[in-house]
Each structure stands twice: as structure tokens, then as C-alpha cells.
Amino acid sequence: MMNKKTLYFIGFFVVLLGIFYIFIFAGTGYGKQPLPVLGNPGHTVGPFSFVDQAGDSVSQENLNGKVTVVNYFFTRCTGICPKMNKNMDKIYEDFKDDPDFQILSNTVDPGNDSVPVLAKYAEQWGANPKVWKFLTGPRQELFDVAVHQYLLSVADSVGVNDQFVHTQFFALVDQDRRIRGFYDGLQQDDLDKLKKDIRALEKEQP
């Protein structure tokens, strides 16, 4: 049998190993599972070509090398959009100084949401167009990209009270244009997870 002195040294050694793990590995994300890659194998976002509130062209190439959060809204919306974009504004404030981060907010009402209208709307959020882009473009392309590229559900249903039905979910896209997560833009738990996952993706690539 081992004596008390031997057991003491073994216990001390185990504690030291635990402390070593915490300081060396815990802060680096070592041992954590990476975020899943969603969609069919090989799926990446693109192609598309839209215009932002500054009148600049935005395509799938703008996603390369950046962590991107995507959502859908329209400026006349009085339902979920104001709360969604208020929550998106919190994401913007947390990450607006990160050079490899951006937000793409796509309108579902391009007939009304022209570049000047989007520019005025963006001003109320204090959005830097280099970081938070409000996009418009051809109606069908906006909807096709939502469903087939970002894998978000957007229904083109102008009819009941002139309201557009669109998803309240945000999509998270990585630096290689892959979909890495969906988050309910109205739920605080999902928003907290989104912030955590953005940071995780920023660490995935140097």
C-alpha cells in the first residue's frame, strides 16, 4: 500500500495538472467542438448582387474573410422588425470595431426600400455602412438568396394589411461563406449564443 506521503504527492501532482490545463488550454478553446457547418455538403453562400445604403455594390465576394450576420426586414415594418433591429444594434455595438465582422440586413420590400430610404433608416441606428449594410436589389433575387443561399425562410406575401411575412432568425456565415448557425432575433438566449459563436469563428482562422 502507498503511504500518506506518496498519496499526498500524487494528489498535489493532479492539482498541478488541473491548473496547467486551465491556464494553457481553457482560454484557447482547446477541446471544444467547432460550430457545425449547415446545409448540404459543400454549400456556400452565393452568387448575389445587391446595393447597400451608400449606393455601393455588395456581392458574395464581400463575405470572403469576414464573419457575417444576416437578417431580413423592411423599413415600413411595425411588427417584429423594430425589436429585431434593436437587438441587431446590440450585436453591432459589440463587434463594430472588429475589421473582420459585418452585418447584412436585407430588405424584403425593395419596391419601397430604395437606397435613399435605406440610408435614412440606417442613420437612426448610427450604422457605419462598412460594417452594417442595409441591402436592396431585385425582388426575386432577394427572396431566392434568402431561401437557397442563407437557408432562411422568407415568404413573399403582400396581401394581408400590406405586411410582408419574413423570418425572425439571424444566420451566421463564416469567413468561407458557410452557414454556421441560426438564431432567433427576438430571444435573448439566442442572441447571447450568437455573440459567443461570432467570437468562436473569429478565432477559427488567423
27-65 residue pLDDT tens: 444 446 789 999 999 999 989 999 999 999 999 999 999
Looking at residue 206, what is its pLDDT? 57
Q: CA-CA distances (angstroms) from residue 80 to 66, 75, 182? A: 27, 11, 17
- Long-range contacts, stretch 187-195, CB < 8 angstroms, 24+ apart: 191/87, 191/90, 191/91, 194/69, 194/91, 194/170, 195/91, 195/94
Looking at residue 165, what is its pLDDT? 56
Pick the CATH number of 49-204 from 3.90.1150.10, 3.40.50.720, 3.50.50.60, 3.40.30.10: 3.40.30.10
Contacts of 88 (CB under 8 A, 6+ apart): 69, 71, 103, 105, 132, 170, 185
Q: How far is CA 136 from the centre of its chain?
A: 18
User: What are residue 133's DSSP bridge partners?
Assistant: 104
Q: How far is CA 137 from the centre of its chain?
A: 21
Instruction: Say how many CA atoms lie within 13 Å of 149 toward its Cβ.
Output: 19
64: which DSSP letter? T
Looking at residue 25, what is its pLDDT? 39
Looking at residue 161, what is its pLDDT? 40
Looking at residue 204, what is its pLDDT? 82
Contacts of 158 (CB under 8 A, 6+ apart): 164
Residues in the chain where the model's pLDDT stays below 70: 1-32, 154-165, 205-206
Looking at residue 109, what is its pLDDT? 92
Looking at residue 78, what is its pLDDT? 84
Rounded CA-CA distance 66/159 in Å is 37
Looking at residue 154, what is its pLDDT? 59
Looking at residue 104, what is its pLDDT? 98
Looking at residue 32, what is its pLDDT? 63
201 neighbors 174 (Cβ within 8 angstroms): yes
Looking at residue 15, what is its pLDDT? 41
